[in-house]
């Protein structure tokens, strides 16, 4: 058998084993996210271990690694790419079996805690939507502080397992020759650590001055609103200050959605682009209830065609959830339009940062004047009065998000450098004060960092949002300048272009090549900077 035939034969056989396990694992995660039950948690652990077992044969792992190292000699670019993808899958699940299985347990346990935890405000349990409502609307500083502190109490419950997860992830990384999980994760995501560090440092430098000016203005506006009070974290509308949309005085965007059907608006938006989402809506879970994950995500269950793509959300009629719906269905249209004729291993998005780029481009429409007029049905008079404020609000929000992402990026580097350090709470607040200019509450020594779910179960991920913002700005500029010659969200031509240039090719090429082919140039942060600063 020729080397090419041997590789193809192995991949075909492996895909037959992989497909049912991937589907079972996806179903288990969906069940846990939608129910929060112990039965679902046990199923996640069981299917996660079964998934790890697919990569347990050291002979197979060595064979895949050898093919990867010699992939330049594989004539078929499609087969070479499959080897590359397969190698990263094996590398991500290679290591001590007990350690891998324990990580599955801890991640499932942590996920269940985030699903079921509710903070206490005024003597009753409240979910994240209620906390967000207090922080966006209440004029009572004491109630706001109580709500903000309640949003952090989950951190106490998960601090110990998150530290253990970091130690175990580091153990696997060091077995594989990396200094820690942070560097291993970046490598397995096809992200060059030095290049990313340079990008993040450049963004920090570029945003230092405009962010400081923005924060000064926000603090002045908030101080006036709250009677001259010193501005503390609970005076801000977002518990982590990852958004500032509701901190801008005099602009109530939520009113555009109070009587709106967010599902219908989502459907209409994608209809306008020629992208069907009714099937995804039918499979999705969009309403709040006890035990359900309080967050939002898109999940593709398996890779068999027709694709089973679902969205979980906790929708309320406001701008936050309009953004979230458009965002998650941006992931969904990508997932459901990957060319099914591609080999099984290549039926996925090009990279996490690319699918985040699509989602962020779509989510931003929720406060885009053009979209509010064409899809949202907001009157021209209303938009004329608020157009510049809306545009300014979007720029401010992107600026605030970048500074928040810099906190996560720097904190996770510190966490994985030493998960056992006793001053992680201080490290967190030092970064928040330096990068977000948010004052730490006097005497506070709580694991507020652990309240952020990504740190526990989606580690070393946040840079993908940052790269996604860069891709979103560059892609929208290219499409509107060269393809639609107008707002991309009003034209079926943009949907067809995205199908051909981004969605359809799946992961048949690396993310850098996808960006260059879809936009005509390499990733260029200047588009984001120009649209934000």
DSSP string, 68-82: HHTGGG-S-HHHHHH
- Say how far apart CA 295 and CA 216 lie, in whole Å: 30
Q: What pLDDT, on the 0 to 100 scale, is given for residue 381?
A: 86
Both tokens of residue 373?
Answer: 């007029």
Residues 210, 165 share a domain: no
* Cβ–Cβ < 8 Å for 340, 508: no
Domain check: are 518 and 388 in the same one? yes
Tens of pLDDT along 116-160?
999 999 999 999 999 999 999 999 999 999 999 999 999 999 999
179-221: per-residue pLDDT in tens? 999 999 999 999 999 999 999 999 999 999 999 999 999 999 9
Query: Using one digit for the tens of pLDDT, what is the confidence trace for 271-316?
Result: 999 999 999 999 999 999 999 999 999 999 999 999 999 999 999 9
Tokens of 503: 């969605």
In a domain, 281, yes or no: no
pLDDT at 249 exceeding the cut of 80: no
In a domain? residue 46: yes
Question: Cα 364 vs. chain centroid, distance in angstroms?
Answer: 14
Buried residues in 345-371 as b, exposed as e (16+ CB within 10 A): bbbbbbbbbbbbbbbbbbbbbbbbbbb
Does the structure show a pLDDT above 90 at 3?
no
Question: How far apart, in whole angstroms, are the C-alpha atoms of residue 43 and residue 297?
Answer: 20
pLDDT recorded at residue 123? 97
Task: Tell me, yes or no, whether 478 and 420 share the same domain.
Answer: yes
In this prediction, residues 30-41 reach a mean pLDDT of 97
Q: Which pLDDT belongs to residue 175?
A: 97
What is the chain's length?
533
Sign of CA dihedral 363, 44, 162, 38: positive
Are residues 452 and 508 located together in one domain of the fold?
yes
Whether 315 is in a domain gets the answer no
Task: Write the DSSP string, 300-367.
Answer: E--SPSSP-EEEE----SSHHHHHHHHHHHHHHHHHHTS-TTS-GGG-S-S-HHHHHHHHHHHHGGGG
Q: Which domain holds residue 103?
A: 3-117+153-177
For residues 217 and 219, give the distance between their C-alpha atoms in angstroms, rounded to a whole number: 5
- Residue 248 scores a pLDDT above 80: no
Residues 70 and 207 in one domain: no
The answer to whether residue 135 sits within a structural domain is no
Note the pLDDT of residue 382.
85
Identify whether 137 is part of a domain: no
CA 328 to chain centre: 9
Residue 473 CB neighbours (<10 A): 24
Percent of the chain past pLDDT 90, that is, above it, reads 95
Tell me whether residue 333 is in a domain: no
> Would you say residue 336 lies in a domain?
no
Phi, psi of 491 (to 5 degrees): -130, 130
Average pLDDT, the chain: 96
Q: Would the pLDDT of 2 be above 90?
A: no
Residue 367 and residue 450 share a domain: yes
* 199 and 170 in a common domain: no
Does residue 85 sit in the same domain as residue 230? no
DSSP string, 90-103: HHHT-S-HHHHHHH
- Residue 463 counted as domain residue: yes
Instruction: Give the model's pLDDT for residue 386.
Output: 87
Conformational region of residue 173, where left means phi above 0, alpha means psi within -120 to 50, and beta covers everything else: alpha
pLDDT category at 338 given cuts 50, 70, 90 is: very high
**Residue 159, helix vs strand vs coil:** helix
Helix residue ranges, H only, 36-153: 38-53, 58-69, 77-92, 97-116, 128-137, 141-152
pLDDT tens profile 448-495: 999 999 999 999 999 999 999 999 999 999 999 999 999 999 999 999
Residue 501 φ/ψ, nearest 5 degrees: -95, -25
pTM above 0.85, yes or no: yes
Q: For residues 381 and 472, state if they share a domain.
A: yes
Residues 436 and 499 in one domain: yes
CATH of the domain at 389: 1.10.1370.10
Radius of gyration of the chain (CA): 23
pLDDT at residue 258 tops 80? yes
Judgement on whether residues 217 and 79 belong to the same structural domain of the protein: no
Are residue 94 and residue 211 in the same domain, yes or no? no
Per the structure, how many domains does the chain have?
2
- Nearest Cα neighbor of 304 from 261, 259, 336, 268 is 336
* Token pair for 317: 């009629």
Report whether the peptide linkage leading into residue 306 is cis, meaning its omega lies within 30 degrees of zero. Answer: yes
List, for residues 513-525, the tens digit of each pLDDT value: 999 999 999 999 9
């Amino acid at each position: 058998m020729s080397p090419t035939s041997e590789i193809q034969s192995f991949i075909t056989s492996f895909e037959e084993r992989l497909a049912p396990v991937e589907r079972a694992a996806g179903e288990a995660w969906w069940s846990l996210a939608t129910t929060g039950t112990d039965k679902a948690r046990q199923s996640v652990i069981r299917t996660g271990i079964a998934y790890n077992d697919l990569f347990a044969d050291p002979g197979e792992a060595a064979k895949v690694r050898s093919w990867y190292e010699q992939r330049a000699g594989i004539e078929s670019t499609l087969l070479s790419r499959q080897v590359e993808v397969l190698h990263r899958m094996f590398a991500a699940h290679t290591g001590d079996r007990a350690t891998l299985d324990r990580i599955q347990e801890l991640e499932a346990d942590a996920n269940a805690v985030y699903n079921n935890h509710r903070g206490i405000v005024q003597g009753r349990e409240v979910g994240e939507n209620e906390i967000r409502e207090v922080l966006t609307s209440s004029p009572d500083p004491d109630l706001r502080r109580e709500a903000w502190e309640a949003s952090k109490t989950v951190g106490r419950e998960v601090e110990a397992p998150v530290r253990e997860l970091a130690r175990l992830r580091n153990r696997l990384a060091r077995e594989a020759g990396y200094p820690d999980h942070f560097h291993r994760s970046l490598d397995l995501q096809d992200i060059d650590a030095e290049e990313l560090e340079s990008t993040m440092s450049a963004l920090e430098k570029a945003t230092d001055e405009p962010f400081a000016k923005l924060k000064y203005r926000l603090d002045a506006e908030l101080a006036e609103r709250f009677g001259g009070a010193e501005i503390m974290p609970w005076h801000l509308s977002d518990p982590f200050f990852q958004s500032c949309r509701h901190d801008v005085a005099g602009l109530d965007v939520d009113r555009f959605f109070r009587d709106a059907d967010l599902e219908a608006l989502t459907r209409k938006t994608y209809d306008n682009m020629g992208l069907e989402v009714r099937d995804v809506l039918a499979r999705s879970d969009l309403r709040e209830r006890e035990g359900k994950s309080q967050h939002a995500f898109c999940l593709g269950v398996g890779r068999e065609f027709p694709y089973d793509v679902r969205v979980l959300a906790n929708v309320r009629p406001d701008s936050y959830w309009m953004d979230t719906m458009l965002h998650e269905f941006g992931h969904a249209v990508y997932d459901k339009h990957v060319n099914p004729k591609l080999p099984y291993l290549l039926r996925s998005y090009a990279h996490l940062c690319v699918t985040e780029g699509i989602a962020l481009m779509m989510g931003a429409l929720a406060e885009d004047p053009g979209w509010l007029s064409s899809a949202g049905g907001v009157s021209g008079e209303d938009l004329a009065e608020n157009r510049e404020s809306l545009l300014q609000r979007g720029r401010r929000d992107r600026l605030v998000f970048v500074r928040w992402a810099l906190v996560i990026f720097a904190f996770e580097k510190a966490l994985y450098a030493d998960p056992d350090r006793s001053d992680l709470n201080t490290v967190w607040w030092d970064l928040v004060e330096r990068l977000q200019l948010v004052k730490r509450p006097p005497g506070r020594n709580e694991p507020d960092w652990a309240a952020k779910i990504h740190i526990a179960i989606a580690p070393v991920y946040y840079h993908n949002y940052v790269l996604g913002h860069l891709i979103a700005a560059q892609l929208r500029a290219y499409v509107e300048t060269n393809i639609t010659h107008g707002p991309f969200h009003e034209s079926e031509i943009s949907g067809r272009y995205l199908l051909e240039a981004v969605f359809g090719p799946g992961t048949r090429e690396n993310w850098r090549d996808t960006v260059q082919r879809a936009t005509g140039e390499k990733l260029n942060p200047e588009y984001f900077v120009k649209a934000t600063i």
